[in-house]
Amino acid sequence: MKVELTKTQVVNEGDAIPKKLGAFIKMFLKRHPWSLVMFSIFVLYEAFIPSVNAYLLKMIIDGVLSTVNQLNLLLAAIIVPAVLYVCVQIFMNIIYSFYRYVHLQFYPKIKSDIAGTTYHYLSQHSYRYFNDHFSGSLSKKIFDLCIGVEALLQIATHSILPKVLAVLFSSIVSYTVHPLFGVMLFLWAITYISLSYLMSYHSERLSYATSEAGNAMNGKLVDSIVNMMSAKLFANLKHEEAVVFNSINNLMEKDRALQWYLLKANCVQGVLIAILIAMMLAGLVYGRVHNIVTVGDFALILTLSSAIANNIYNIGEEILRFAKEVGNCRQALNIIVEPHEIQDKPHAVELKVPKGKIVFDNVQFQYQNAEPLFENKTVTIEPGQKVGLVGHSGGGKSTFVNLILRLFEVNNGRILIDDCDIKDVTQQSLRMNIGMIPQDPSLFHRTLFENIQYGQTEATEDEVIEAAKKAHAHEFIKNLPQGYGALVGERGVKLSGGQRQRIAIARAFLKNAPILILDEATSQLDSVTEKYIQESLWTLMQGKTTLVIAHRLSTLLHMDRILVFDKGKIVEDGTHQALLEKNGFYAELWRAQVGGFLLDRE
């Protein structure tokens, strides 16, 4: 099954994601200019509505009071404002329906853009990055950004900007009744919005802390669920409950602090609104007593004050909610948009592997906060050679192949494939030319067919089945009720370890890369199946440069060469027989085997 990206989901390799939230949102808004124009029209219209409605109501009331018991004069006085009043309501419904249409067109697209872009950026992170973060937390951060940015834009265009402009227009209309009302309303609004803005700073900090606590809780929860069988087998369910409940309680405390602060802020806002209504009422009573304002003016100011009070109260709440969403988005963005540890050079080329020669040229490497593992390592693996890698755990075997895959960056020196430095080629093309069969393969929660086809996504059904037959996976697949359409469960949990390994081997057959790496590829197979697969693997190795990591030394008898690792150094290099005759470290390992496996060194 071929999977294709939609036009809006295509991401250029050179695209960078800004770490500042404002620049991040702007990057996506620039892709939808017409939607922004429509939103701007809606914002202006919604801002005008309270002032227009109140002014038309004033005209109607003044017209009614000035033409008592004179129907013709009454109709003449109120017909225009009354018709306009009705038309405003009808037009508002049309505008709002159009806004909803633009909303439905715009937000799904921008959320799709954000999800696609952030996932692409996330996928370029290094092996170390994914080891340092919970997978469940990372997926939640993408979701938080999609939902958070949508909320921020909605709050800005539907709640804050229209209401701020409405206050400005209302102040102007109030000023026409009497300058005092306009000045009072404007100064009060400035005070209210300023206080809400200042309170939002602390709200954002509390929100950021709450988001971090939620991220930690989600990670603990996912980690515990993924390892639930271990918790059961070790009878540690109570311990897991304590770990998860502690993280839940921490989130609850952070969230409670945030909600308590929001409650206090809302109380302050409520008091300010009561002050506004009291000031306006006092001014209106004084103005009416002294014939400064008409009855219509009285209704106009009260209507505007009530509408603005409600709008302003909503602005205060929305500013606090806006700050909360900003905190969530910033926290998510800070995690996702870390600088990539391993990057392609600006003009990296596609790797071509006509031969498969691998050279370590004075390579120096060490893990973070650790002693150097490789120092000036120089070794050449000739094209088509089948090389075994042996040694105690921690000796450097896995690091050796991970550096070839460029999962880690060397600190000094070069790694060459067919005389081409792997730093000068794209990571994609490098790994396209390397087939990897890991010791503990992880499968997607998809069908068996899709998991095998992952080795070559363009492969036909016949090619997939042929690869499965070579890996001796066809025998168990055909006996399943759904056959190749059977779902394997998360990470392949519905399959046995040996079955998962056969699927991984089938992938390698299908990929047919010129360089092959086997990491204990048959360790989870029974002896009979291993015999058949060893024969198939030997066929697969022909014409390929092959590296085989093995603790079962009997699997390396026919290797062209064996590299013996000890504490990062290659202490011996030769064929199985030559190394036995040398009677050195390898011979010691061979004699120390129990059941065909290496004993760990004390």
What's the pLDDT score for residue 1?
A: 47
- Confidence label for 12 from pLDDT (cuts 50, 70 and 90): very low
CA–CA separation, 110 and 149 (whole Å): 9
Mean pLDDT of the chain: 81
Helices 295-336 and 135-154: crossing angle, nearest 10°? 160
pLDDT tens per residue across span 50-69: 777 777 777 777 676 666 66
pLDDT tens per residue across span 477-504: 988 888 999 888 877 778 887 788 888 8
**What are the distances in angstroms from CA 49 to CA 20, 154, 563?**
35, 19, 80
What's the pLDDT score for residue 600?
A: 53
* Contact between residue 580 and residue 587 where contact means Cβ atoms under 8 Å apart: yes
- Confidence label for 380 from pLDDT (cuts 50, 70 and 90): very high
pLDDT tens per residue across span 153-198: 888 887 778 877 777 777 777 777 777 777 777 787 778 777 777 7
**What are the distances in angstroms from CA 301 to CA 34, 62, 191?**
37, 14, 19
Which DSSP symbol is given to 339? P
* Contact between residue 88 and residue 49 where contact means Cβ atoms under 8 Å apart: yes
Tokens of 484: 């190749």
CA–CA separation, 93 and 340 (whole Å): 49
- Three-class SS state of 549: strand
Domains defined along the chain, listed by start: 16-336 (1.20.1560.10), 349-433+514-602 (3.40.50.300), 440-512 (3.40.50.300)
CA–CA separation, 128 and 369 (whole Å): 13
CA–CA separation, 303 and 172 (whole Å): 14
Which H/E stretch holds residue 547? strand 545-549
Which DSSP symbol is given to 447? B
CA–CA separation, 127 and 124 (whole Å): 9
CA–CA separation, 204 and 499 (whole Å): 50
Beta strands in 355-507 (DSSP E): 358-365, 374-381, 386-391, 412-417, 420-421, 434-437
- Confidence label for 353 from pLDDT (cuts 50, 70 and 90): very high
For residue 303, how far is the Cα from the chain centroid?
47
What's the pLDDT score for residue 186?
A: 77
Indicate if the pLDDT at residue 199 is higher than 80: no
DSSP assignments along 141-205, one per residue: HHHHHHHHHHHHHHIIIIIIHHHHHHHHHHHHHHHHH-HHHHHHHHHHHHHHHHHHHHHHHHHHH
pLDDT tens per residue across span 256-295: 888 888 788 778 877 887 887 788 778 777 777 777 777 7
The whole-model pTM stands at: 0.70
Tokens of 511: 């990929």
- Three-class SS state of 516: strand
Amino acid at 200: S
Other C-beta atoms closer than 10 Å to the C-beta of 539 total 10
More confident residue, 503 or 318: 503
- Three-class SS state of 6: coil
pLDDT tens per residue across span 547-597: 999 877 877 888 999 999 988 899 999 999 899 889 888 888 888 764 455
User: Checking phi first, is residue 575 left (phi over 0); if not, alpha (psi -120 to 50) or beta?
Assistant: beta
pLDDT tens per residue across span 407-466: 999 999 999 999 999 999 999 899 999 998 887 787 888 889 998 988 888 889 999 999
Tokens 């702007």 — which residue? 26
**What are the distances in angstroms from CA 316 to CA 153, 168, 310, 504?**
16, 16, 10, 57
- Confidence label for 233 from pLDDT (cuts 50, 70 and 90): low
Amino acid at 173: V
- Three-class SS state of 249: helix
